[in-house]
Structure 1
């Protein structure tokens, strides 16, 4: 038997090898229907992963951050599976869950171009595959075997990832239908829970974020366990467009954007600058009675600082690439967060 400790501190005993789903079923059928993943000793795992020793557990539904991450991670794989069927010969980079949905970086074969016009057929294929309720199967394979499998499938980017980033030993892969991916997980047990999908945008993205490497196609999407949830999300987006700060800011002459400066980098105009300074003064007045003190730190820092803080491991793939100094053997990075050094 193993002792399972719940978030409220209560403890129950189960047979060794019990799964998160079985634990959810022992609590209530309704919970078992809605749970998507579980946390075992702080690590989010699949609901069918056996628990063989005493552990703490948390059961995650879609409404939980961990649950969304699991749901959208599997949806990224579903997107890749659909793209593999629609665009034979396509190659895959990375496909993670993000704050609002997921994306996958792909390289279509020469002559194939994926644009907004293709969104409906990609969504239709994803729904078709999800209806099959394909099981998502985790495997632990030796590095050499994983490399051989992806070489045989012609996946050059996956092979580079295996050779350069993954240590010798076993590597976890996940398979659903005819698609297999390198992945740590966690995932849904099957694709059937994905009831509504929307491809939201397409953009260019350099392989590994390096402007000297291949430019891939990044496809963004979002998914939900109910169509009504997708409808609510799309309605929220429409309402948000009416209140878009970029639109309002331009109308009020607060700031402007220039392609020469870069997308998303505001230039504060006189009215906007005056408003910004007033807000800063207000904050200073509010903070002073509580003995807050201001500090100013550089906009960049040594890479080793962010390795120590954990930011590099968490944000490294999405951060601007390190700045190399010719005189010193050092790498610097733009601050990935707004906290001081």
Structure 2
């Protein structure tokens, strides 16, 4: 048995290998439905990742910044999965969560991606999300990672892998898409219920203007369509305020 310490300093015992999701389920089924991420001994942690030793734990829901971060980070992977399906041959750079949503830097590799394609990308993301695929973490050796991504022609990923220390490399897979990533991620794609691709921008690979110029695809997702609708209204109101301010200044 291992001791799990909660934020209120209470302690409960569990079998070694228990996951944050199982711990949440032991508290209430509603909490288990709501949690998106966790921290274990101060380290970001997937809710389906086993805990093997005594630990302090925090559980994060949507209202917590850590919960949103895991949700949007997972959504970046969902975006990449959709782009892979829609634009064969596309190559991937990095795809982090940001303060409001996420982005993925991609090399279109001959594919044309414009704002007119946004509805098609959103539709594909929602289609994939509804498959409720588990997002599965795996440890992988450096040589296996280089082969996996090299065989796919993922030169940007291979460059990143070449700089990583062997024994500390992980991938995450959902459906037919595998990405190099440290995580954490939500348990599966099911909670992603509303999607909006917001903009495109140019971005030099690794911020170096002497390197390849990629396309940065920005998006945002929510666990409810109502939340997305409210967010879009808020953006419109912010634009109106900016226009009024600009008018006064002129």
TM range (shorter): over 0.9
User: 1:9 Cα shift?
Assistant: 1.4
User: 1:170 Cα shift?
Assistant: 4.2
Number of corresponding residues: 250
1:94-120 Cα distance to aligned partner (Å, 9 max, x none): 00000000000001122x221110000
User: 1:236 Cα shift?
Assistant: 1.0
Q: Distance in 2 between matches of 1:48 and 1:250?
A: 49
User: 1:241: which partner in 2?
Assistant: 239
User: 2:142: which partner in 1?
Assistant: 143
1:164-216 Cα distance to aligned partner (Å, 9 max, x none): x2123341011111111110000011111111110010111000001111110
TM-score for the superposition, normalised by structure 1: 0.72
Q: Distance in 2 between matches of 1:94 and 1:48?
A: 24
User: 1:258: which partner in 2?
Assistant: none
Find the structure with the greater CA-based Rg.
1
* 2:188 aligned with 1:190: yes
User: 1:103: which partner in 2?
Assistant: 103
1:4-44 Cα distance to aligned partner (Å, 9 max, x none): 11111111111111110111111111111111111111112
TM-score for the superposition, normalised by structure 2: 0.97
Return 85-94 or 234-243, whichever deviates more.
Answer: 234-243
1:104-148 Cα distance to aligned partner (Å, 9 max, x none): 0001122x2211100000000000000001111111111011001
Q: Cα distance 1:184–1:128, how it changes in 2: closer, same or farther (>3 A)? A: same
Q: For structure 2, list consecutive stretches of 5 or more residues without a partner in the other structure.
A: none
Matches within 5 A, 1:34-73: 34-73=34-73
Q: Distance in 2 between matches of 1:198 and 1:143?
A: 35
Segments of 4+ moved more than 6 angstroms:
none
User: 1:248 Cα shift?
Assistant: 4.0
Q: Distance in 2 between matches of 1:44 and 1:235?
A: 32
User: 2:226: which partner in 1?
Assistant: 228
Which of these residues, 199, 215, 218, is aligned with residue 217 of structure 1?
A: 215
User: 2:26: which partner in 1?
Assistant: 26
Which of these residues, 164, 167, 170, is aligned with residue 169 of structure 1?
A: 167
